[in-house]
Structure 1
């Protein structure tokens, strides 16, 4: 789209056409693998093994999903992931806001020093082994809290929220203080209600991060009853672990069954679709929150 008034020039029209074609090709290459996995998950073994582009399942069957939902480890992974996502996101948002709000105040003593220390952690960390030893010494090994507490506050996200709070007019808070409101009352009754876009944005960030995380579960969790869905998905799709594959797969001469590849496709969809369903409800806050939080302050 031309940014100048009047009729667009030939160069601008060529740029617009190239831009549309490039973004369309990029969208297709991004969406098609997801569509292919979705189609395979609903296909019979014969249809899934046919070569070519798959945009719609020819022989629709739900056998793969019946097999996936009959696997107890899928439900165990779901329960642990839901616990991690709900509790973890709530604690993440709460502590991020509680950290960002005072740092947004210019009258906070040593504010710049505290901010510099937090920013320092974005570039330097102890590494994998020190983190593991820390979790071990804290007694959090094989505990669900080892998946939540170490990443309670993301420095980058906290800076975004801090900048958003700094963009809010200070006159409203000053008038509330004159009326006798303390900082906690101002935060909960004035600041947070007008900060819904940034709160929704960071909630989505944290929720997606928790839902997709699996590596920390691989490191800190040894009990299969506490493993998260991402780790179950990894063991089924990548490792092919027999412990996590209690499925009825296709046998010679049987047509109403599924193959391991179809099981993997259905497992991927089961693990992916729930978090995708959350995004449309937060999308209207997402762009506004991230733009204001990153550019102001």
Structure 2
């Protein structure tokens, strides 16, 4: 839960620009935080996270080096991605400024199993070198389960598995779901009311750019249909206004996705 509306908007905008696999990792960590009940601090095994993302283990019970390398890069990127937020601060001798610096996640520490005889301590201390076995992280936007501000509830059944052969950059389902979640918080539609969004903004946030409108429309409506099948979207229709500005009217399932 993120209760500060300004930081909340920055964070949701950031989720729009992370690749969908990184978004899935962040959402999974917040789910773990709720399960582990240790505030913003989360501990997880990297192999368990890879399994939650839908990847298959090899015969020896591990995962291919390429997948481990990709996950390591994602965790490092989330650790290094910072939001800097400034606000005025009243002081006795005038007005100052207070600056907050928050990472998406903060890697507090990690553990490596079964080190070899030629264990290189310098390499182990470099968290960018390779994927560790256990991570201890802090969710720097976590403010506890008190729910005294604005927040979005995702269904516990949210599917974060990565589709076989898919490119993380082109996971349109996750991109659309996260964008709808952010708009629900801002627009606050009541049950049964439409969530109306400019089609141009939707395409921009889905990275459906370029002049091939036929392809872009096919991808968009296919993504909408997929989220309908999963129960997140109940209905969607296109409305063209007087100035030929197209908008999409969504009805979302409040049991699957709810903004407060």
More strand by share: 2
TM-score when normalising by structure 2: 0.21
More helix by share: 1
Asked which structure has the greater RCO (Cα within 8 Å, sep 6+), the reply is 1
